[in-house]
């Protein structure tokens, strides 16, 4: 497969498509729900902000298209000869620009539906299976290779430090010879932050699609690293609670299960990224040039570190759970030992009073001396047992 074979379908004229609407939104279509995937196999909880606190409807405002054949919100950028030339231009003009080999295009679709992706497929000649994967949610992180393009699926991630829940945001991308098309299935991933990374390295824009893809992957992988760092901080707090003077067994156990669940989910989206980044660096794909290779090696190194850190944290959380159970067992043994010791001390006066309570004559029966002797015996025996148990650290 050679990505350079990608290109527009001849004869396409999206400008005359009756589905074109102003501001990229169909008035009859309900607003896009601001949601982030709660897990690779989980539900999408509604959120009003991106992971970085931005308004998903207005981030990267300069790139928003006023006119687009899609019913969803679209963003565009055009680089020519390594310089940003235009942004926010109509999606219908993309086919005309792709005929120029000096041009690199970025197109972003926010929560598109089936019809939106059909328009995308016609415009770029994308494989139906890749378009289907972009439409379906909860795909695993992967890189698929087709004749004219590559298909990438990845997840952004952020840890809710209050609940210990990991929130993820799914993104699909089509990679052609001169275009990067991103499809965001929810609003968690902050596309404005991706544009800031592109703008921070304008000297790399001359490398085309590889430059755009690097900024996108760098943002996603850094998000994974931030999530792992947050999980590490949460585990340190959990360790302090584990050996606190006031037992917090229930809180430690509940928090441990929450963090372990988040770590399992994070591992599920981080581990496959090793193969994704490694595959992109293959020379036969012609996506990453020699000049960009060090930057992709840096991303790969971050992916490896995040994966190894995730595994070590998962083992640490398992150790905390086991340690907590051991501490509970030891604490129960101490309590049992103390109760047994006090029961033994109380058993002595019980025995003496029971003996002297019999209705038979005994030495000192009905005399004050007998009462004094019994009281003294109870006191001395109890004191001796107390001292013995205390010396053995049973009390």
93-146: pLDDT as tens digits: 888 888 888 999 999 999 899 888 988 888 788 999 999 999 988 889 999 999
User: Is 80 a residue whose pLDDT tops 90?
Assistant: yes
**Best CA proximity match to 188, nearest among 349, 60, 4, 52:** 52
| DSSP letter string, 293-310 | HHHHHHHHHHHHHHHHHH
**Best CA proximity match to 99, nearest among 151, 14, 177:** 177
User: Is 2 a residue whose pLDDT tops 50?
Assistant: no
Enter the tokens of residue 81. Answer: 């000869």
- What would the pLDDT profile of 52-61 be if each residue is shown by its tens digit? 778 888 899 9
Averaged over 307-312, what is the pLDDT?
91
Note the pLDDT of residue 356: 65
Least confident of 12-16, 187-191, 225-229, 274-278: 12-16
Which of 94-98, 188-192, 297-301, 313-317 has the highest average model confidence (pLDDT)? Answer: 297-301
- What would the pLDDT profile of 216-269 be if each residue is shown by its tens digit? 999 999 999 999 999 999 888 888 888 777 777 778 888 888 888 999 999 999
Q: What percent of the chain has pLDDT over 70?
A: 84
* The dihedral sign for the CA sequence 285, 286, 291, 296: negative
Note the pLDDT of residue 10: 33
Residues pairing with 22 in the sheet: 67
Averaged over 369-391, what is the pLDDT?
80
Instruction: Round to whole Å and give the CA distance between 198 and 89.
Output: 18
User: Is 72 a residue whose pLDDT tops 50?
Assistant: yes
In the chain the beta strands, taken as DSSP E runs, fall at 21-22, 67-68, 73-80, 83-87, 103-110, 142-145, 150-160, 165-175, 179-184
Note the pLDDT of residue 231: 92
Which of 102-106, 258-262, 284-288, 390-394 has the highest average model confidence (pLDDT)? Answer: 102-106
User: Is 301 a residue whose pLDDT tops 70?
Assistant: yes
Average pLDDT, the chain: 82
**Best CA proximity match to 355, nearest among 346, 345, 365, 368:** 365
pLDDT band at 366 (very low <50, low <70, confident <90, very high): low
Q: Do residues 150 and 143 make contact, with C-beta atoms less than 8 angstroms apart?
A: yes
Averaged over 24-37, what is the pLDDT?
39
Note the pLDDT of residue 276: 95
Q: How many other C-beta atoms can be found within 10 angstroms of the C-beta atom of residue 295?
A: 19
User: Is 312 a residue whose pLDDT tops 50?
Assistant: yes
Torsion of CA 238, 244, 250, 256, to 10 degrees: 10
User: Is 281 a residue whose pLDDT tops 90?
Assistant: yes
**Residue 69 DSSP SS3:** coil
Torsion of CA 313, 317, 320, 325, to 10 degrees: -160
| More confident of the two residues 45 and 263 | 263
- What would the pLDDT profile of 154-168 be if each residue is shown by its tens digit? 999 999 888 889 999
Altogether, the residues listed in the chain come to a count of: 395
Least confident of 62-71, 110-119, 296-305, 322-331: 322-331
Q: Regarding beta strands 103-110 and 179-184, do their DSSP bridges make them parallel or antiparallel, or are they unpaired?
A: parallel
Instruction: Round to whole Å and give the CA distance between 207 and 20.
Output: 32
| More confident of the two residues 73 and 47 | 73
Note the pLDDT of residue 385: 80
């Amino acid at each position: 497969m050679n990505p350079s074979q990608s290109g527009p379908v001849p004869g396409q004229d999206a400008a005359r498509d009756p589905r074109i609407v102003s501001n990229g939104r169909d008035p009859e279509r309900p607003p896009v729900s601001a949601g982030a995937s709660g897990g690779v196999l989980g539900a999408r909880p509604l959120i009003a902000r991106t992971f970085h606190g931005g308004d998903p409807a207005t981030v990267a405002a300069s790139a928003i298209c006023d006119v687009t054949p899609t019913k969803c919100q679209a963003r565009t950028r055009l680089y020519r000869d390594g310089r940003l030339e235009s942004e926010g231009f109509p999606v219908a003009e993309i086919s005309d620009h792709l005929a120029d080999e000096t041009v690199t295009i970025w197109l972003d679709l926010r929560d598109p539906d089936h019809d939106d992706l059909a328009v995308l497929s016609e415009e770029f000649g994308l494989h139906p299976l890749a378009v289907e994967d972009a439409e379906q949610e909860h795909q695993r992180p992967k890189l698929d290779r087709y004749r004219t393009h590559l298909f990438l699926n990845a997840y952004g991630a952020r840890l809710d430090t209050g609940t210990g829940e990991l929130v993820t945001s799914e993104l699909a991308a089509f990679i052609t010879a001169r275009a990067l098309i991103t499809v965001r299935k929810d609003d968690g991933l902050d596309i404005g932050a991706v544009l800031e990374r592109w703008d921070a390295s304008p000297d790399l824009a001359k490398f085309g699609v590889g430059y755009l893809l690097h900024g996108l992957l760098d943002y996603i992988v850094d998000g994974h690293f931030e999530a792992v760092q947050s999980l590490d901080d949460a585990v340190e707090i959990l360790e302090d609670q584990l050996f606190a003077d006031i037992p917090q067994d229930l809180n430690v156990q509940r928090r441990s299960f929450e963090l372990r669940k988040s770590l399992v989910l994070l591992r599920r989206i981080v581990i496959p990224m090793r193969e994704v980044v490694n595959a992109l660096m293959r020379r036969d794909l012609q996506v990453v040039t020699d000049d960009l290779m060090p930057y992709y090696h840096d991303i790969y190194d971050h992916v490896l570190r995040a994966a190894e850190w995730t595994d070590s944290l998962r083992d640490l959380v398992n150790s905390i759970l086991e340690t907590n159970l051991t501490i509970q067992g030891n604490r129960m043994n101490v309590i049992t030992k103390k109760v047994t010791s006090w029961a033994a001390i109380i058993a002595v006066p019980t025995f003496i009073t029971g003996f002297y309570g019999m209705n038979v004559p005994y030495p000192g029966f009905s005399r004050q001396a007998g009462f004094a002797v019994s009281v003294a015996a109870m006191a001395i025996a109890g004191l001796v047992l107390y001292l013995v148990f205390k010396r053995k650290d049973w009390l």
